[in-house]
Amino acid sequence: MSEMSNDFDNDTEWSRDSASNQPLPMAYMDDAGVGRINFKGRMIEDRDWYSLCQLLQRLFMRANINCMKMADLIIAQNFLGSVIYQCETDGNGSDIESDIFEDSIVFGVITMLNMTSEKDIPCVQQLRTFIMQSAEKYATEDVLKKFSDILNDTSRPVGYLINERLVNIPADISIDLLENLQAEIMTAQQKGMEFDFAYYLIIIKLHCREAKNGKPKEDFYTSAEEEFFAQKAINSFVYSMIDDSDVGMSGDWFGGEDAPPPYRKVLLFEADQIPNILDELREKIQEIK
C-alpha cells in the first residue's frame, strides 16, 4: 500500500434533514453544536470484511454474485484501494483517532479487481456471467457485441473499478481516492503485477423516472460523480433493478409509492482516459462549490 493512501481527508459538517432523516452536508457548524464528522480514506483491512459485503450487496442485490468471496478477494489485495471511514474532531479541527471510530462501519470502498487474470475465480466468473446475461437482456446488439469482444479479449485486460459509498458522502473524497488508486495501480505495474489494464468497467446506481404527463424522462444518480462518468463512457447499458429492489438493502434516498425505480448502468472506459476524466471531474466539482 502506498503511503499516499492514508493522506486524504474530507472534512464535512453534517446535520439531518427532518423530513427524510438523511444526512445532509452543512457548510458550517451552527450555535446548536451540530457535530462535525471527518471522512477519511485508509488501507483496506480484515476488519472491513462485513462492511465490504454490505456495500457490495447494496450494489448487486439478488444477483448471483458471491459478495462474501468478492470481499475476501478485495482484502487479499489490500495493497490496492481504500475504504472510507469516519472519525471525530476535538472541536479544534484536529481528528480524534480512536478504536471506537476505527472499528465502526466503513462508509465506502474504492478499489480494482482484474476481470481478466482473475476470470477463473468463482466470484469474478459470476460477475462476468452476470454482466453478459444483463447485456443480452437489456443492451442493443451492437453494445452486446462490444462488451463480449472486450471481456473475452485476454490480450487487453479489463479492470472492474469498484466505487461504492453510502448516500450523501461528498464526491470530493471519491475523486481523491480514485486518483490515489491510479498511483497504486502504477506502483503494482512497476512491480510486475497484473494490473496493466486496457479498459475499466464500472457499475453505477441510479433511479429513472419515465416521461409522464408532459414531463421529460429524468435520471437520478446515487453518487454525484457517476453522472459525469456515464457521459464519458465509450460503451454502456442500463439494466433494471425493479424486481430486485428492497428498501432495507438498497440504501436509496427515495421513498414512497412515487419513488423512481432503481436501475444500474454498466460503463466501459479506455483505461488511459481515466486520469483525464478525473482531472476534468475535479474541475467540475470545484465549479459547483
> Could you tell me the end-to-end alpha-carbon distance of the chain, in angstroms, rounded to an integer?
31
- pLDDT grade, residue 208 (50/70/90)? confident
Q: Are 83 and 108 in contact (CB under 8 A)?
A: yes
What is the average per-residue pLDDT within 206-222?
Answer: 84
Tell me which of 136 and 221 has the higher pLDDT: 136
Q: Which of left, alpha, beta for 236 (phi over 0: left; psi -120 to 50: alpha)?
A: beta
Q: For position 272, what pLDDT does the model report?
A: 93
pLDDT digits (tens, 9 = 90+) for 152-207: 999 999 999 999 998 778 788 889 999 999 999 999 999 999 899 999 999 999 98
The predicted structure's pLDDT at residue 168: 73
pLDDT at position 90: 54
42: number of CA atoms within 13 Å, CB side?
17
Distance CA 133, CA 151 (A): 13
Task: Give me the chain's average pLDDT, please.
Answer: 80
Question: pLDDT higher for 54 or 218?
Answer: 54
Average pLDDT over residues 235-252: 70
- The reported pLDDT for the residue numbered 127 is 98
Domain ranges of the chain: 111-163+172-241+257-287
Arithmetic mean of pLDDT, 223-236: 91
Q: Could you tell me the CA-to-CA distances from 96 to 87, 99, 256 in Å, in that order?
A: 6, 10, 38
pLDDT of residue 51: 94
Q: Residue 228's CB: how many other CB atoms inside 10 A?
A: 17
- With a cut of 90, say whether residue 22 has pLDDT above it: no
Which residues pair with residue 209 across a beta bridge? Answer: 218
Kindly state the average pLDDT of the residues 121-139: 97
Which range, of 8-12, 147-151, 199-203, averages the lowest pLDDT?
8-12
Residue 13 has pLDDT above 50, yes or no: no
The residues facing 9 across adjacent strands are 40
**Least confident range of 31-45, 150-164, 238-252:** 238-252
pLDDT at 154: 95
